[in-house]
Amino acid sequence: MPLINILVVLVVVGVLLWLVNTYVPMDSKIKSILNVVAVIIVIIWLLKAFGIVAL
């Protein structure tokens, strides 16, 4: 996978998380859980993209 695609996905995910955290009224606990889940999913995706993990 080209590095540009990885960077674009990371930027899009970051912007989406920022938009949700800024503009969607939710309890802070729910936002924290959402952020942790999103980070874990992105980390697993990155590990698969670089071939470190084969799930």
Structural domain contains residue 43: yes
- Whether residue 55 is contained in a domain is answered as no
Question: Using CA of residue 43, residue 20, residue 35, residue 37, what is the dihedral sign?
Answer: negative
Residue 20 domain flag: yes
Rounded CA-CA distance 37/16 in Å is 13
Give the pLDDT band of residue 9 (cuts 50, 70, 90): very high
Amino acid code (one letter) for 47: L
What average pLDDT score do residues 7-31 get?
A: 95
Residue 53 confidence (pLDDT) above 90: no
- Residue for token pair 């980390």: 43
In degrees to the nearest 10, what's the CA dihedral of 42, 48, 51, 55? 140
Q: What local confidence, expressed as pLDDT, does residue 55 receive?
A: 73
* Mean pLDDT across 2-31: 95
* Domain extent for 41: 3-49
The answer as to whether 54 is a domain residue is: no
Instruction: Give CA–CA dist 25/48, Å, rounded.
Output: 33
Total domain count, the chain: 1
- pTM for this one? 0.85
